[in-house]
Amino acid sequence: MDEVLGNLPKLAKEKHAENKKFFAKLKKKPPKDLDYVMQELHEEEFQRTDCLTCANCCKTTGPLFTTADVERIAKHLRLKPQKFIDTYLRVDEENDYVLQSVPCTFLDAENYCMIYDVRPKACREFPHTDRKKFQQISNLTLKNVAICPAAFNIVEEMKRRVKLK
């Protein structure tokens, strides 16, 4: 997996122009069965991918935290929400709460999430490849393929399977 992750930014860069063009077309006229196809591609890829050998999202990016995330995780850690924010979070350029530093503090040495059951919504949904109306998150996906090998493979397979006019 280390080699895959090492090569991923370069591979994603090589595919960037092609992906951008594909997503621009997809946005203009998404196929009617896109949600169904994405669900299928996502499930197929994650049957092959073991996130515990990777954790690159937790190591390099980290999620944004909604108010509901903060309240749920703070309660789990028996902290006041403000104490949780002061200890672990900062406000980013887009005014969202994000981690103060990466790798995420809650990632353990074996790549397990120490707050798995109460983890942020963004962590549960990453890399968002089974999201409905997938064409609406093209810009985010263009970035995620450089971080997440599963997202990269899903987009490659998507370009093969989804025929756009």
If the CB atoms of residues 63 and 72 are measured against ligand SF4, the closer one turns out to be 63
With binding defined as CB under 6 A, does residue 64 bind ligand SF4? no
Strands across the sheet containing 97-99:
64-65, 97-99, 89-91
Q: Which of 62, 72, 98, 146 binds ligand SF4 (CB under 6 A)?
A: 62
Give the per-residue contact string, 17-36, with ligand SF4 (x = CB under 6 A; - = no).
Answer: --------------------
| 3-state SS assignment for residue 64 | strand
Which H, E and C letters describe 32-50, residue by residue? CCHHHHHHHHHHHHHHHCC
Q: For residues 89-148, which are near ligand SF4 according to CB under 6 A?
A: 104, 106-107, 113, 115, 119-120, 123, 126-127, 147-148
Q: C-beta of 124: minimal distance to ligand SF4 in Å?
A: 8
Residue closer to ligand SF4, measured from CB, 24 or 52: 52
Number of residues that make up the chain? 165
> What does R_g of the chain's alpha carbons equal in angstroms?
17
Judged by CB under 6 A, which of 4, 11, 37, 51 binds ligand SF4? Answer: 51
- DSSP 3-state assignment of 96? coil
57 binds ligand SF4 (CB under 6 A): yes
What are the residues facing 91 on neighbouring strands? 97
CA distance 33 to 14: 28
Strand 97-99 versus strand 89-91 pairing type: antiparallel
- Interface residues toward ligand SF4, by CB under 6 A: 49, 51, 54-58, 62-63, 104, 106-107, 113, 115, 119-120, 123, 126-127, 147-150
